[in-house]
Amino acid sequence: TQRLQIEYLIDFTPQSNTVDGNDVIQGLTQHSKSLPARYFYDDRGSQLFEQICALPEYYLTRTETAILQEYASEIAQMTGACELVELGSGSSTKTRLLLDAYKQLDYPLHYLPIDVSGGILESSAKQLLADYPSLQVHALVSTYELALEKLMPSEFASRMICFIGSTLGNLSPAECDTFLAQITAALQPGEYFLLGVDLQKPKEILEAAYNDRQGVTAAFNLNMLQHLNTRFDGNFDLEQFEHWAFYNETQHQIEMHLRSRRSQTVRLRALDLTVEFAADETILTEISRKFNLNIIQQELAQQNLKPVQAWTDPQQWFGLILCQL
């Protein structure tokens, strides 16, 4: 039997405009410029993100991994055998902890990773197949929205959709509501949703995590412009923009921008778009919201995703919430 299936719902290769760039035009022609955070994740961006996860200042990955290490078997026991669907799977490193826990209980291993970066999805799927001889992988190269729409009801006992790494924080409150409604639609009653969220904490710790000393986060941020250059035949000069990230304490969110070092004109030929930048004008490339564990659980319950159990680390820096429809 074939253990690996890779399906492309979007074609995220440089020359293709399947994800058509209207969102780029929209974002860059507004009064306050912004770009969708999704454009971080070309193959290079995904690699840089992997490097971010290992940075000393970026506590998120390390903390969530520690929580999973401690509680993955408890999660597996609570859900029973199920198919794991993972949104934004990236390198699937943390997922291995869940796969190990299900394997320990002799459950069949079905994994459905979903990511916009085809390169990283393929290489990590192949590595997983080599390491888990009984694993079946059905990978989807897709945005979350598209994948959740296309997802058929699980053919297996049950399903758990995993959205770990606090990627929920990269959605605005309105996008978050829509997204949670899509999750609910993709689950049958009794099925599970596992959510990882970064929690509110002092500003200094948060700002250090998004302004690392090695400059990897700055490179990750700037790479979005390189991605747009390749994808839409653009001429952003990466030397003429700089990384800027700070914690907005009233909104409880990190805001990440690219700031124009001087007044300049940029052209994206494939979109027939010319954009003027004033000196110091910024493009908002990402928000990263920080949550309160009680409030987010109430919000999940309102969306019919009933929290079954929440786990955190000793410092209460990160939360993992298991919900059931």
* Interface with ligand AVI, residue 143, by CB under 6 A: no
166 or 184: CB nearest ligand AVI: 166
Chosen residue from 63, 143, 170, 282 binding ligand AVI by CB under 6 A = 170
- Build a one-symbol-per-residue string for 48-67: x at contacts with ligand AVI by CB under 6 A, - elsewhere: ----x-------x-------
Sheet with 282-289, strands from edge to edge, namely: 33-34, 282-289, 253-260, 241-248
Q: Yes or no: say if 184 and 303 are a contact pair by the CB < 8 Å rule.
A: yes
Please give the sequence-ordered ranges of beta strands (E in DSSP) within the chain, or none if there are none.
4-8, 33-34, 83-87, 110-115, 136-141, 159-163, 192-198, 241-248, 253-260, 264-268, 273-277, 282-289, 306-312, 318-324
What percent helix, strand, coil does the chain show, rounded to 5? 40, 25, 35
Angle, in degrees to the nearest 10, between helices 43-53 and 216-232: 170
Cβ proximity to ligand AVI, 87 vs 112, nearer residue: 87
Interaction of residue 286 with ligand AVI, rule CB under 6 A: yes
| Element containing residue 97 per DSSP (H, E) | helix 95-104
Q: Total number of residues binding ligand AVI (CB under 6 A)? A: 11
Of positions 27, 113, 165, 319, contacts ligand AVI by CB under 6 A: 165
In the complex, least distance from residue 266 CB atom to ligand AVI, rounded to whole angstroms = 22
Binding mask 103-142 for ligand AVI (x = CB under 6 A): ----------------------------------------
Is 102 among the residues that bind ligand AVI (CB under 6 A)? no
User: Which stretch, 9-17, 164-172, 261-269, 303-311, contacts ligand AVI (CB under 6 A)?
Assistant: 164-172
